[in-house]
Amino acid sequence: MLLLEKIDLSKLPKHIAIIMDGNGRWAKKKNLPRVFGHRAGMKSVQKIVETCVQLKIEVLTLYAFSTENWIRPKTEIGALMTLLQNYLKIEFERMMDNNIQLRTIGDISKLPKTPHKELVKVMQKTKSNTGLVLNLALNYGSRQEIMNAITRILESRKNKVDQKTFESYLDTSGLPDPDLIIRTSGEMRLSNFLLWQCAYSELYVTPVLWPDFKPENLYEAIADFQKRERRFGGV
Ligand code: IPE
Ligand code: IPE
Ligand code: MG
Q: Which atom of ligand 1 is nearest to the CA of 26?
A: 14
CA distances from 150 to 41, 141, 153, 232 (A): 34, 14, 5, 26
Among the listed residues 31, 69, 107, 162, the single catalytic one is 69
Decide: 225 and 13 in contact? Cβ < 8 Å: yes
Q: Which one of the ligands is nearest to 28 CA? A: 1
pLDDT string in tens for the chain (235-residue length)? 567 888 999 999 999 999 999 999 999 999 999 999 999 999 999 999 999 999 999 999 999 999 999 999 999 999 999 999 999 999 999 999 999 999 999 999 999 999 999 999 999 999 999 999 999 999 999 999 999 999 999 999 998 999 999 999 999 999 999 999 999 999 999 999 999 999 999 999 999 999 999 999 999 999 999 999 999 999 9
Residue 154 within any structural domain of the chain: no
CB atoms closer than 10 angstroms to residue 164: 7
In a domain, 97, yes or no: yes
Domain contains 166: no
Q: Can 69 be counted among the known catalytic residues? A: yes
Instruction: Write the CB contacts of 95 (distance below 8 Å, at least 6 apart in sequence).
Output: 102, 122, 126, 129, 134
3-state DSSP assignment of residue 178: coil
Give domain status of residue 187, yes or no. Answer: yes
For ligand 1, is residue 184 a contact (CB within 6 Å)? no
> How many domains does the chain fold into?
1
Q: Is residue 65 assigned to a domain?
A: yes
Q: Which ligand is nearest to the CA of 64?
A: 2
127, part of any domain:
yes
Whole-structure pTM value: 0.98
- The four Cα atoms 164, 168, 170, 174 give a dihedral, to 10 degrees, of 100
Range of the domain at 51: 13-142+179-224
Residue 169 lies in a domain: no
151 located within any domain: no
CATH of the domain at 19: 3.40.1180.10
Q: Which atom of ligand 2 is nearest to the CA of 189?
A: 14
